[in-house]
Structure 1
């Protein structure tokens, strides 16, 4: 079977989708400005086999939401697009529900609703006092392929194997001779080169248990930390 190499596409990808559910403003006493934000976060992780257009399986995790009010000490921070964007970014970064998504620096910039900024700037230039209120939805999506699933498997160590396995369950050759991994769902271990041909099934070749769902926490860590540039497994 030919080896397919994917030199540029990362094994774990993530994206941010931001939607403004509603935006409204209220007149406030002269010189008083405030921003009220209700954020509805959601995260999802999906397994998309190499070459497939849609995820094979996914898990959705809705987060907590609340209404938070930020008082604006300096109205000038709302009267230019750049300053308003920076002010909103700081406010959103203070929300616990968004902090739980563990966004990257680039994602914090992207999470500011683009349509809210000009609306606030325009109103802030017209009047002396306003309370700006908006509700937003934020969806952090993580998609990984077989390589991400393989990277989430634990490195096999003889002493750590409860079953004392010494042979690969696929080729039956000794595991100590080359790199081997242990399934996240069970104690079965295999050579990396052997399991890479099976991992798209997302089950253990020996016991047929689901490998994907037990590996979700490790895959999320790969997404947060970033997949390593070197040592990325190829799928045979």
Structure 2
């Protein structure tokens, strides 16, 4: 997917989120002055993410899909405007991304290896507490992964590299616990675009939880 197409996809997803969140934002927090969710922050999260590896065999994308544990380390910057919070975030993740395809009927065996990913995206949120210590947010994030594939097809062995992007989106909440320490949880899903797949991957729920250090 080109950068232009990715930007267009992000815009299409963010716009309805902005409008729906604006309609639901409590008027009482519009004048909030506490800057609980403002400025630079660091975060560490762990959760389950959707992993999809694809091997191009005879012009057809043979896909394998599993949910795997993923841990991430990220940095971001956000701006609190009244009761609204707008932010950008990017980071690096460690994943249990090993996947395999074993199809004796087609004499096909694929081993896909991946242990890391990078991601970048945006958040839009609204403060939902008189103490200004609770944030409800929506997010959209582009995840970039690269799989190294060892393939045996019809008795022939060869290798491929599967570079892909998954668009992740969802929502969550973040709660200030003490000083600069916050806790956050999120739930969402992901989608990707694959060329000539045997079958489109199913949409799976993703979950994560982590700690935020707000400077």
TM beyond 0.5? no
Answer 1 or 2: which has greater helix percent: 1
Structure number with greater CO (CA < 8 Å, separation at least 6) is 1
If the length of structure 2 is used for normalisation, what is the TM-score? 0.31
Larger Rg: 1
TM-score, normalising length: structure 1: 0.29
Greater fraction strand = 2
